[in-house]
Amino acid sequence: MHDTTILLIEVGALLFALGMLGRLGRRIGLSPIPLYLLAGLAFGHGGLVPLSASEEFIEVGAAIGVILLLVMLGLEYSAGELVGNLRAAAPAGVIDALLNALPGAGFALLMGWDWRAALVLAGITWVSSSGVIAKVLGDLGRLGNRETPVILSVLVIEDLAMAFYLPLVTAVLAGVGLIGGAKALGVAVVTVVAVLVVAIRYGKQISTLISAQDAEALLLGVLGLTLFVAGVAEELKVSSAVGAFLVGIAISGPVAHHATQMLSPLRDLFAAVFFVFFGLSTDPAEIPPVLLPALGLAVLTMATKVVTGYLAARRVGIALPGRLRAGLALMPRGEFSIVIAGLAVASGVEPRLAPLATAYVLITVVTGPLLARLPDYQWFKNFVRRRMHPQQAPVLKATD
């Protein structure tokens, strides 16, 4: 059978299977990300039905998936909003980094891994999944809650921090050492600041250049600009994901709104391929030996995320129920954790890191959205009320 024919059969069957998995996830109230990862494990090396002809095609699709995930995230914010959130939420961002990155680094060292693996695992445990959390907030009807801006501010701080972290870790994993990493970080800082300045001063002109009236021209213009800047950023060792994020920030107004609508189906398609590709690169047989360490790490860092959200919400005067909702919502890890782990896999820094990251993301992305629903249960509300008003506990009823 011709190679192209096999490619079409494999890709077609894979996409159809992903569609069914996504439908299943929505029906049972679960994010499709863990289902896509499981599909990758099933079709990868050591899986049930390895995909050989389409592996290179899926790898390219995965790279586009990361770029689209990040540009769509950038389209949610204007440059002014990003800078404003950065100033207001900076203390919460520092707390977030300390509480969630340090446990990952310490865990790696306890496992006997080197400092490069510790740097990678710190990033994996640090960053929450913006995509999963945004979906959970929408599903639970909390987008208008008082704590939601706090949650989004923490996510923005993390996403912006990735603009500096990813170039650093990329350079370190490439073997250039700390000096080379410092140079890459310097380039990243200059690039990010330059793009933010251009976005703030000339964002309207950039948006005007891309017509929102012609849907075809809008789609091609935004997608072409994003891929071009992502490629240039990758050449500068800043990371294509960060370049795509900054393109999204630079586009604003009606153009950003229409671009979001136009790119959403493409993002969903290639993001699914991205998560599948990470699963493809992991041998399922390697997961059971790291399952218990991954579970322990997940329990520890999900608890530190709850503390992060609690402290961030308390800082702006939100009551106890809102603080708990903020903390529980921040627990899932996803896109960036997989991106960071993918860099480590490509460099071969630590063989056990990929299966550990896969198991870790699966645990947090499955249990996180489920635990985020706890504040909606009556018994949980009664527990919170007793904590807030201990003297009223004897007279509380289930209907209060």
CATH of the domain at 109: 1.20.1530.20
- Looking at the predicted structure, is the pLDDT value of residue 88 above 80? no
Q: Is residue 152 in some structural domain?
A: yes
Place of tokens 């959205």: 369
In a domain, 60, yes or no: yes
Query: Domain range for residue 305?
Result: 3-375
| pLDDT tens for each residue of 101-118 | 999 999 999 989 888 889
Report the alpha-carbon distance of residue 279 to residue 284 in Å, rounded: 9
Residue 389 lies in a domain: no
Tell me which of 67-71, 204-208, 383-387 is least confident. 204-208
Assess whether pLDDT exceeds 70 at residue 81.
no
Residue 383 CB-half CA count within 13 A: 8
Percentage with pLDDT > 90 across the chain: 14
Query: Averaged over 86-100, what is the pLDDT?
Result: 83
**DSSP single-letter state for residue 287:** S
Higher pLDDT pick, 31 / 219: 219
Look at residue 251 and tell me if it is in a domain.
yes
Number of domains into which the chain is organized: 1
Torsion angle of C-alpha atoms 269, 121, 241, 163, degrees rounded to 10? 150
Contact by Cβ (8 Å): 142, 325:
yes
pLDDT at 254 over 50: yes
At residue 52 the predicted structure's pLDDT band, cuts being 50, 70 and 90, is low
* Pair of tokens at residue 33: 């990300």
Helix (H) or strand (E) holding 130: helix 130-139
In a domain, 309, yes or no: yes
pLDDT at 295: 94
**pLDDT of residue 74 exceeding 80:** no
Q: What is the pLDDT of residues 292-306, one digit of tens each?
A: 999 999 999 999 999
Q: Please indicate, yes or no, if residue 388 is contained in any of the structural domains.
A: no
Question: Hey, what are 347's tokens?
Answer: 């460099």
Whether 19 is covered by a domain: the verdict is: yes
pLDDT for 398 beyond 60: no
Q: Is residue 314 part of a domain?
A: yes
